[in-house]
Amino acid sequence: MTDISRLQKTFTEKYGGEATAGFFSPGRINLIGEHTDYNGGFVFPCAISFGNYCMIRKNDDGKIRLKSMNMPFEAELDLSELNQKVDQEWVNYVIGVFAQFLKKGIRFNHGIDMLFYGDVPAGAGLSSSAAIEVVTAVALNDTYQTGFDAPSLALMSQKAEHEFAGVQCGIMDQFASAMAKKDHAVFLNCDSLAFEQVPLRLDGYKILISNTNSPHKLDSGLYNQRVSECGNALQILRQSVDISNLAQLGNTEFESLQHTITDPVIRRRAKHVVTETERTKKAVNYLREGNLRAFGELMKASHLSLKHDYEVTGHELDTMFEEALKIEGVLGSRMTGGGFGGCTVSIVASDAVDDFIGNVGSGYLRKTGLEPSFYVAETSDGGKRIF
C-alpha cells in the first residue's frame, strides 16, 4: 500500500492545502480469457494491489488542475474544455472520463484539483490505463454525488479509452478495476456483463507476475488491427450462421464453418477467440473443483493459441513462458493483457517461488538481454474511497 501521507505532502506542495478525499482503483491480471472481451466472450481477471491513486479537492476558481507524480506534464483546464483532447496521453484518460459524465448530463459547477499516482509498472500490461480511468470515475462519482453504480462507471471508463485514447478495448480491464473483490477472480460474460465472483483457492500455490520489461503499447495500432480482423471474421461467418459475436460459436460449429473464411490470418484470429472462450469456461470449472493442475494446462494452451493463432506474444513473452515451464512446481503460465510485451502470469508452488525468480530471471536475461521483474500477486478490491 502506498504511503498516503506522501501523496498528501505532494498535494499540499502543489495546491496549497490538503486533499479532502483520496481514492484507489487497482490494476489487474487476467488468469485466462485473452482478447475475448471485445468479441463477447468470457474473461477471468482478478485485481491486484498495484493501481492508481487520486487525491482530490474542489476549488472555487472554475479550473480543473491535473498533476501526476509519475509524469512530468501538468494540465490546467477551464470547465468548458472538458470535451477536448490534449497532446499529453495520460491527461486524455482523465479528461475522457469527465467527458463521459458530461454526456450523462452531469454539470460540474466547481473546479477541482487532482493529484494522481500510479504504482502499476508502466507498460507492463497490468492495465494502468483502466486503473486511472476508473479511479477518476470513482472520485468524480463520490465528489459530485452523481449516483452511478460500479458497472456504469466501468462502461464510462471504457468509452473514455475508446474516444480519448483511441484504443478499441473490451470491457474487461475497466470492469475488473471497478468490480473486483479481494481473494476472488471475476468470471465475466463480456456480452451480457453477467458476472460471478469466484473464490481463488490456491492452497500451496502463488500467482506470480513476471514482467518482461519490454513495454507494450496498445495504441500502436496492432491491438486495433486485431479488433478489425475479428470484425471481418464475424461478418463472413454471419453469412452462414445467426450470431452477434464470435464467442457465440462453439468449437465444433466453428470447425464446420471455418472453411468459409478464406483468408488464413482472419481464420486463425477467429479460431483463437472461439477456443479461448471454451478454455475459459472449462478453467473456471476446474478452479471451482480445486483442480489447479488442469487449470494450469489450459493456461499453457491459451498462451500457445495467443502465439500461433492470434500472434500477440513475441520473443520476450514467449521466452518468459518457456523458461517458466522448466521450473518444477509450475502448473501453468501464459501472457496476460493485450500482449506485444508486458507480463506473464504463472501458478507456482509456494516453495518454488524463489527458484522460479532466480532461474527464470537468469534464463530470460541470457536470451533477451533484458532484466525482468517479478511480483507475487496480492489480490485487491475494486475502486473505492480510501479516506
The CATH code of the domain that includes 28 is 3.30.230.10
The residue-averaged pLDDT of 135-155 equals 97
Would you state the pLDDT for residue 87?
77
The mean of the pLDDT values for the chain is 94
Active-site hit among 87, 119, 149, 173 = 173
Enter the DSSP assignment of 203.
T
SS (H, E, C) 213-253: CCCCCHHHCHHHHHHHHHHHHHHHHCCCCCCCCHHHCCHHH
Q: Residue 197: what residue type?
A: Q
Total number of domains constituting the chain: 2
**236 and 358 housed in the same domain:** yes
Q: Cα 2 vs. chain centroid, distance in angstroms?
A: 20
| Collapsed DSSP state (helix, strand, coil) of residue 201 | coil
Judgement on whether residues 263 and 134 belong to the same structural domain of the protein: no
Looking at the fold, whether 152 and 192 belong to one and the same domain comes out as yes
pLDDT at 120 (0 to 100): 84
Residue 72 corresponds to which amino acid? P
My answer on whether 181 and 217 are in the same domain is: no
The pLDDT of 180-186, averaged and rounded, is 97
pLDDT at 217 over 80: no
Residue 218 has pLDDT above 60, yes or no: no
Ranges 55-69, 219-233, 254-268, 334-348: which has the least confidence? 219-233
DSSP β-ladder status, 63-68 and 111-118: parallel
Asked whether residue 78 falls in the same domain as residue 99, the answer is yes
Q: Residues 270, 135: one domain?
A: no
Told to judge if 87 belongs to the known catalytic residues of this protein, a careful annotator would answer no
Task: Indicate whether 220 pLDDT > 90.
Answer: no
- Sheet of strand 42-43, all strands in order from the earlier edge strand to the far edge: 42-43, 184-189, 195-199
* Residue 81, pLDDT score: 85
Please report the pLDDT score of residue 72 as a whole number.
Answer: 84
Assign 168 a pLDDT band (cuts: 50, 70, 90): confident
More confident: 214 or 357: 357
The boundaries of the domain holding residue 122 are: 4-198+381-385
> Is the domain of 98 the same as that of 168?
yes
Q: Decide if pLDDT at 108 tops 80.
A: yes
Q: Which three cell numbers stand for residue 373?
A: 521483474
Cβ partners under 8 Å of residue 252, min gap 6: none
H-helix or E-strand spanning residue 129: helix 128-143
**Count of beta carbons in the 10 Å neighbourhood of residue 375:** 19
Q: Distance (Å, rounded) from C-alpha 55 to C-alpha 347? A: 35
What does the alpha-carbon distance between residue 272 and residue 278 come to, in Å, rounded to a whole number? 10
For residues 20 and 40, state if they share a domain: yes
Range 119-124 average pLDDT: 78
What does residue 146 show for φ and ψ, rounded to 5 degrees?
A: -85, -15
* CA–CA gap between residue 248 and residue 237 (Å, rounded): 11
One domain for residues 353 and 241: yes
Cβ-based neighbour number of residue 228 at 10 Å: 14
pLDDT average, residue stretch 192-218: 91
Name which residue leads in pLDDT, 314 or 89: 314
- Name every residue whose Cβ is closer than 8 Å to that of residue 209 and which is 6 or more positions away in sequence: 29, 48, 126, 336, 343, 344, 345, 374, 375, 376, 377
Rounded mean pLDDT, 347-364: 98
21 & 109 share domain: yes
Q: Residue 89's closest CA among 60, 61, 120, 122?
A: 122
Distance of CA 143 to the CA centre of its chain: 25
Same domain, residue pair 235 and 366: yes
Q: What's the pLDDT band for 297 if we cut at 50, 70, 90?
A: very high
State residue 216's pLDDT score: 61
Residues 148-161: what's their mean pLDDT? 97
Please indicate whether residue 90 or residue 335 has the higher confidence score (pLDDT): 335
Contact 21, 4 (CB under 8 A): no
What value does the mean pLDDT take over residues 85-95?
87
What is the structure's pLDDT at 3?
A: 87
Give the strand order in the sheet containing 63-68. Answer: 75-78, 63-68, 111-118, 45-59, 21-30, 384-385
Q: How many CA atoms lie within 13 Å of 10's alpha carbon, on the beta-carbon side?
A: 17
Looking at residue 315, what is its pLDDT? 95
Which of left, alpha, beta for 342 (phi over 0: left; psi -120 to 50: alpha)?
left
Averaged pLDDT, 253-274: 98
- What would the pLDDT profile of 186-197 be if each residue is shown by its tens digit? 999 999 999 999
- Can you tell me the mean pLDDT for 357-363? 98
Tell whether 253 and 177 lie within a shared domain: no
How many CB atoms are located within 10 Å of the residue 220 CB?
12
CATH of the domain at 248: 3.30.70.890
Contact 55, 138 (CB under 8 A): no
Lowest model confidence (mean pLDDT) among 75-79, 326-330, 354-358? 75-79
pLDDT, tens only, 36-45: 999 999 999 9
Lowest mean pLDDT among 54-58, 112-116, 132-136, 339-343: 339-343
- Each residue's pLDDT tens digit, 59-81: 999 999 999 999 888 999 998 88
pLDDT confidence tier of residue 25, bands split at 50, 70 and 90: very high
